[in-house]
């Protein structure tokens, strides 16, 4: 593949609203931009982080969906406002490669972070775990509930120690509050992952990870950490999706 990387905002701001009088800070409408890029490329992969300010706007996935609407080529989600499916596929591949059990116990554990981060990675991880044969539970402080529409078939335990008991895989991730949308409600270091809490489980994280904030060095530097296998599987997850997509284009 020949790859072009475009950081759209480096050039100018795109307009996504219909019918706007574009006499302020947006220079090009997504209608033209998506069609022009479709003339350059056979596939468009879009990364579009949320505003974390306007829940309705983020949930409308206006960036990703506008590309889908106006592009004339397939669009791939490289982490959108509310989901990161290629990361979830990566995580599923990693768990299935490394599990020694038919039904491993997998825990998604919230961690503190100084910045407000999206819910995209945990959302997609939860959705993926609901598709796999795993014993799955989520642990986080009160008021860090993810979108209940996404978590409604998953167990939530506010007691981290209890949730982590006998875990085979522990996926650690920070996210900002969904309820108090985009807010940091806690930076409680007691939620940081430590070697003691991890027990015999394998440690997972999508990266980039803040050492000794999200997880202590002793975990990342141990052979229980499988973050490098995960990062490697990001390539294969993207390749398998692109391969199928491109093969279908040529049919």
Q: Per the annotation, does 210 bind a ligand?
A: yes
Q: Which CB sits closer to ligand CP, 83 or 151? A: 83
Q: Does the bond joining 60 to the residue before it have cis omega, within 30 degrees of 0?
A: no
Q: Which CB sits closer to ligand SUO, 8 or 73? A: 8
Tokens of 134: 């795993």
Give which of ligand CP, ligand SUO, none residue 195 binds (C-beta under 5 to 8 Å, depending on kind): none
Give the residue among 173, 149, 191 at the shortest CA–CA distance from 230. Answer: 173
User: Binder to ligand CP among 134, 164, 206, 220 (CB under 6 A)?
Assistant: 206
Q: Per the annotation, does 85 bind a ligand?
A: yes
Dist. CA 227–CA 101, nearest whole Å: 20
Give which of ligand SUO, ligand CP, none residue 123 binds (C-beta under 5 to 8 Å, depending on kind): none
Q: Per the annotation, does 211 bind a ligand?
A: no
Name the minimum Å distance from CB 181 to ligand CP. Answer: 22
Residues 218-247 that bind ligand CP (CB under 6 A): 234
- How would you classify the pairing of strands 135-139 and 155-156? parallel
Cβ burial, residue 242 (10 Å; 0-12/13-18/19+): middle
Which residue is listed with tokens 């795993």?
134
Q: Does 168 bind ligand CP (CB under 6 A)?
A: no
List strand residue ranges (DSSP E) for the chain, in order: 13-15, 26-29, 44-46, 75-77, 105-110, 135-139, 155-156, 169-173, 202-204
Instruction: Provide the 3-class DSSP secondary structure of residue 136.
Output: strand
- Given the rule CB under 6 A, which residues bind ligand SUO? 79, 87, 115, 117-118, 120-121, 206, 208, 210
User: Binder to ligand CP among 79, 91, 168, 216 (CB under 6 A)?
Assistant: 79
Binding site for ligand CP (CB under 6 A): 79, 87, 206-207, 234
Binding-site positions read 12, 47, 79, 84-87, 113, 173, 206-207, 210, 234
Binding-site positions for carbamoyl phosphate read 12, 47, 84-87, 206-207, 234
């Amino acid at each position: 593949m020949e790859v072009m990387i475009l950081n759209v905002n480096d050039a100018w701001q795109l307009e996504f609203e219909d019918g706007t009088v574009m006499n302020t800070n947006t220079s090009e409408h997504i209608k033209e931009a998506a069609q022009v890029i479709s003339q350059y490329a056979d596939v468009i992969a879009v990364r579009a982080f949320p505003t974390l300010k306007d829940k309705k706007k983020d949930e409308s996935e206006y960036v990703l969906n506008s590309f889908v609407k106006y592009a004339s080529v397939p669009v791939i989600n490289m982490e959108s406002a509310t989901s990161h499916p290629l990361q979830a596929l990566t995580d599923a591949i990693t768990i299935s490669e490394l599990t020694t059990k038919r039904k491993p116990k997998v825990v998604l554990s919230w961690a503190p972070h100084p910045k407000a981060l999206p819910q995209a990675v945990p959302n997609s991880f939860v959705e993926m775990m609901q598709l796999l044969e795993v014993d799955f539970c989520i642990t986080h402080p009160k008021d860090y509930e993810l979108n209940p529409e996404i978590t409604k078939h998953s167990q939530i335990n506010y007691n981290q120690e209890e949730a982590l008991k006998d875990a085979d895989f522990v996926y650690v991730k920070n996210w900002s509050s969904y309820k108090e949308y985009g807010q940091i409600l806690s930076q409680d270091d007691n939620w940081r992952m430590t070697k003691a809490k991890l027990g015999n489980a394998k440690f997972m994280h999508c990266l980039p990870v803040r050492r000794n904030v999200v997880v202590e060095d002793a975990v990342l530097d141990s052979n229980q950490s499988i973050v490098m296998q995960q990062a490697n599987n990001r390539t294969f997850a993207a390749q398998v999706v692109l391969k199928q997509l491109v093969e279908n284009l040529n049919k």
